[in-house]
Amino acid sequence: MSESRVDAMLGAARARLRRLTPEQAAAALADGAVLIDIRPAAQRAAEGSIPAAVVIERNVLEWRLDPTCEARAPFATGDDIVPIVICSEGYTSSLAAASLQDLGLPAATDVIGGFHAWAAAGLPTTS
């Protein structure tokens, strides 16, 4: 069976990202990166949250991170921000980070393994 379209899309997205391990993402936060949790509320309620993360659900991500948009988040002040996207397992976040690169944010990336890997690494979470 050939590769599905979504698998090909995911592969293309990841090929242009400098994906980070949870530990690398945590270190990047200390250097000014912004961790963005795109999981829906129900998923965060079931799995837990990351205290250092800014919650911006996937359906509004581009509007909140576009520095030229009136609906932008307060920290979305220019193309030099470093958004690190995290989802549950690291799939949706790869597509979202690639979309942010398309938006003009070249440093956008995601966390390998998502929230599950973050929690497994013993990094801060709340339930």
**Per-residue pLDDT for 42 more than 80?**
yes
Digit-coded pLDDT (tens) for 49-66: 999 999 999 999 999 999
**Domain ranges in the chain?**
5-120
**Per-residue pLDDT for 1 more than 90?**
no
Mean pLDDT over 9-30 rounds to 97
Could you say which DSSP state residue 4 is in? P
**Per-residue pLDDT for 99 more than 80?**
yes
pLDDT at 2: 83
CATH topology of domain 5-120: Oxidized Rhodanese; domain 1 (3.40.250)
Q: Average model confidence (pLDDT) for the chain? A: 97
CB 110, CB 90: distance < 8 Å: yes
pTM of the model: 0.96
pLDDT at 127: 87
